[in-house]
Chain A
């Protein structure tokens, strides 16, 4: 036992020494590099979409650095996995801020971005998360959060708008809402409540437990309600499970997927069960003929990593790419005017007018009192295994 103690002692000393070593700037960048932190979910509950998103962000950084960076200064992206756990995100955040001294952060989930909101405001760091929660667009509450894509609540409004257009009589339309049992899943709930109350829709809300391997019970609950439409707010993995279970149970209804459920992962995993599903997708699909998709394909081909249409990339990869593109534009404009700090980047981002993300999203416009980037999206449907646009660009009707 004493020998073991000695080994443990030695290991601990080595560990502590290593930790001390890490405190000196370790990221190995040149002095002129611009440091951006990133908090990704690579192993947690939402890693099905977290991994392609992370790859998209990293790819953009490599691509822009390959093209000479920002006036010759490279972006140094410091990224870590947080496994979708709030406490990990907090730890990484505080490490990025006080040790790495980053000027901006790319985040991921709704729960952790919400939890960091107040810290972000005091530390004055622009923060773009993959979470499109409407709460994060409230400038009074979250002055340094920017939401690039159409937010979840607006996606829900657009989905319901579409549903109401299909039926001449709104009263009595039954809409079931299947959601991830987390802040992310519940984010568009209040938009649903408001519209349902105003239009006389009947609604049923069913939570999908996190990490569930079978959703038959939830689907049966939905089946008993006999809805005309089922709106799903979850990531693609659990959403395709719901589709498969619905096929098994024999639930006949129209599924409407909000953005994180509507991507190629859903089509690949659910197979024929995904056929006919509608998706509210604020990002251009891989087949789209837009500038950014060409850039991505050129970059990927140069690295020998296939193309954007590969199963491990797709829509979510583009989302990561576009988010980083917007952040980079803010940094670029701040750099052109002088110093790059969180505050100057924020000012520049707020000045963005119809910034083109290479066609991945609708043009991005921020303002001093408006941190919601895109507000318009197309509606897609799975036809023959691919997402096909069934509408023009639509916005929430005011």
Chain B
């Protein structure tokens, strides 16, 4: 059983608990690999917050683009963040936007590891997520 604080000490709150739940079925080597890939791919919630704040200067919706919601990104960009109302809501809500995206990335990483793209993680890793 791997400890999340050892491998990914920068996480906090809900995300910390979620990743701990994933890591508890892994040994240290697998957890190390998972932490490397996950750290490279996750989005920091401060970045979401800053991009969201850019919405007040005319570039609304950049945070929606960066977490993969292209449709909402275009809508925000062309309507000044739904007349600022959408931007303000996302300003309050930025942590759960980042959390939602990071959960998706964690599952992608897990399925990549269980598909055998990484030779060290092949043995018996695929059953905790599917």
Q: Do A and B bind each other?
A: no
